[in-house]
Amino acid sequence: MYIVENYSVAVILTLITMLCWGSWANTQKLAAKTWRFELFYWDYVLGILLFSLLMGLTLGSSGAQGMGFIDNLRQAEWSSIGKALAGGVIFNLSNILVVAAIAIAGMAVAFPVGVGIALVLGVIVNYIGNPQGDAVLLFSGVTLVGIAIVLDAFAYREKAAQSQTVPAKGIIIAAIGGILMAVFYRFVAESMAKNLITPEAGLLTPYSAVFIFALGILVSNFLFNTILMKKPIEGEPVTYAQYFKGGIKEHITGIAGGTIWCIGMSLSILAAGKAGFAISYGLGQGATLIAALWGVFIWKEFKNSSRKVNVLLALMFVLFVAGLGLIILAGS
């Protein structure tokens, strides 16, 4: 199987993760014109599962090093499988909660709260589990990225000229979603072998861990998304019959979204073997920067903004880049 053996390569992979995690939502934005989120999400989950399987059968099954994808699955112990499955279940619930919070409190509040908590707490959790890299540089970088996320929220609020009170319910849901999003990665990490060249018996390789993780998302989706379909956050309930009436374009868009996200997850887990789970996760969650770039330059969400908004955005980008630079240096 393919193994990352160079730190520079690991950093490049985590930056691609950041790009993927910050870009997949564009597919949902495109589909939203004709397709409800609850229906889109089924194809999104399917895309994650299909790509994880593809990675396992290709990069996870080639080369002389490590253990092949199928062989690794056959020897995996239930404790390892259970941890990767739990990671998928936790991620799925966290993802749905953050989406719910966005619907209640708005992107400007829910996204920074959810992702901000996920970034800071996630790095702490993963560093404790695998203390790799310079702690001072790592957490200094995380602090700068956290401040950048707050500035991003202020810019959105200023642009929207919001004067109404933000529902406390939305903030609470976003916080819970962020906490769950911070811990899912650690469950997947705990399921994996420490030595990828000669994996310890019973543990998973990055490829089989991501595949089992994807199965956890799929299985839990029959509970979480079914509830969401019957009791949607916004709009009328939707049915499975409506899903099967969807066109090829709608289904492909959702699968593309899941594929993009899973590319990021797969590369992040691969890079973690060399960069460490805290650094790999922290850089990946810099996806907020990518999402902001899409919003500013492609979707023109800040068109004709005030000088104050533009200053906040400029500071946000500078702090993000500086923070990500420190996180990269932490592992060099």
All structural domains of the chain with their residue ranges: 7-330
At 278 the three-state DSSP class reads helix
pLDDT tens string 106-130: 666 677 778 888 988 999 999 999 9
Q: Tell me what pLDDT residue 256 has.
A: 97
- Measuring CA to CA, which residue among 315, 290, 281, 325 is closest to residue 120? 281
- Phi/psi for 192 (5° steps) reads -95, 155
Greatest C-alpha distance within the chain: 61
H-type helices in the chain, by residue range? 7-21, 25-31, 37-57, 69-75, 78-105, 107-129, 135-160, 168-190, 206-230, 240-244, 248-275, 277-284, 287-293, 307-330
What is the model's pLDDT at position 167?
Answer: 67
Measured between alpha carbons, how far is residue 35 from residues 28, 100, 185, 209, 278 in Å?
Answer: 9, 17, 30, 31, 36
d(CA 23, CA 259): 11
Mean pLDDT (whole number) for 166-189: 88
Give the per-residue pLDDT at 160: 64
Q: pTM score > 0.95 for this model?
A: no
Check residue 163 and give its pLDDT.
45
Predicted pLDDT at 158: 77
Mean pLDDT check: name the lowest of 67-81, 125-139, 158-172. Answer: 158-172
Taking alpha carbons only, the member of 95, 1, 117, 116 closest to residue 48 is 95
Q: Give, in order, the Cα–Cα distances in Å from 66 to each of 53, 71, 114, 200.
A: 18, 10, 36, 10
Residue 302 has pLDDT above 90, yes or no: no
What pLDDT is recorded for position 106?
64
pLDDT at 119: 87
Q: What are phi and psi of 199, to 5 degrees?
A: -60, 140
Q: How many beta carbons lie within 10 A of that of residue 219, not counting itself?
A: 14
